[in-house]
Amino acid sequence: MNIAVLASGRGTNFAAILRAVKKGKIPANISLLVCDNSKASVIGKAKRAGVGVFLIKRDDFASKGDFENRIIQRLEEAKIDLIVLAGFMRILSRGFVQKFNLKIVNIHPALLPSFKGTQGVKDAFDYGVKIAGVTVHFVDSEMDHGPIILQAAVKIDEQDSQESLEKKIHKIEHKLYPQAIRLFCEGRLEVGDRRVRIK
């Protein structure tokens, strides 16, 4: 099974997934990194691991449709079975998502449906909740909305700052995301009525 990771930044989740693949915990290969940011440190991580890198800049295309069509073409060339979003800072179009229905997963640093959007940790911390968390879900045409695969709670202690909470959440992300990807690759996820059943 071939995995493509779409990322725009540091690549900490990319690195966690790669470690799980190398240890045999995920029965698949990371065949491709798609990145839209030439300065992202995830590129160096991929190159050092021998993962193919496809750098593509939105500004090089006249429209979002053209940009996405080029990504789709590259994914099809690489015979990708699963698309993993790992800090890819672009919202995918409805057409892109529908083309790869139930083959795109995302990780969000909050317990969805609470605290959607790009500031999940900050929003949860500012709100004063006692429990934060992490969600891995399939991607659909709405932001942070698709069927939930796995969730894990993170307790917020009184002495926590936003920064310390972020560290806790990242630690959980790096465990939970590889687990969810393994379940997908093993064919153990069954989706019906927005619910994901683990076989």
108 in active site: yes
1-100: in CATH 3.40.50.170: yes
**Mean pLDDT value across residues 157-175:** 97
Between CA 23 and CA 61 the distance in angstroms is 38
Contact 8, 33 (CB under 8 A): no
**Mean pLDDT value across residues 178-193:** 96
| Confidence at residue 3, expressed as pLDDT on a 0 to 100 scale | 98
Task: Judge if 1-100 and 106-199 fold alike in CATH terms.
Answer: yes
pLDDT, tens digit (0-9, with 9 covering 90-100), for 19-39: 999 999 999 999 999 999 999
Q: Which of 108, 137, 145, 170 is catalytic?
A: 108
| Confidence at residue 82, expressed as pLDDT on a 0 to 100 scale | 98
| Whether residue 194 has pLDDT greater than 90 | no
Q: What is the mean pLDDT of the chain?
A: 96
| Whether residue 193 has pLDDT greater than 90 | no
CA-CA distances (angstroms) from residue 176 to 54, 137, 173? 26, 11, 5
CATH number (3.30.70.980, 2.60.40.3080, 3.40.50.20, 3.40.50.170) of 106-199 reads 3.40.50.170
Residue 146, Cβ density class (10 Å: 0-12 exposed, 13-18 middle, ≥19 buried): buried
Between CA 65 and CA 135 the distance in angstroms is 28
pLDDT, tens digit (0-9, with 9 covering 90-100), for 99-130: 999 999 999 999 999 999 989 999 999 999 99
User: For the chain, what are the domain ranges?
Assistant: 1-100, 106-199
What is this structure's pTM?
A: 0.96
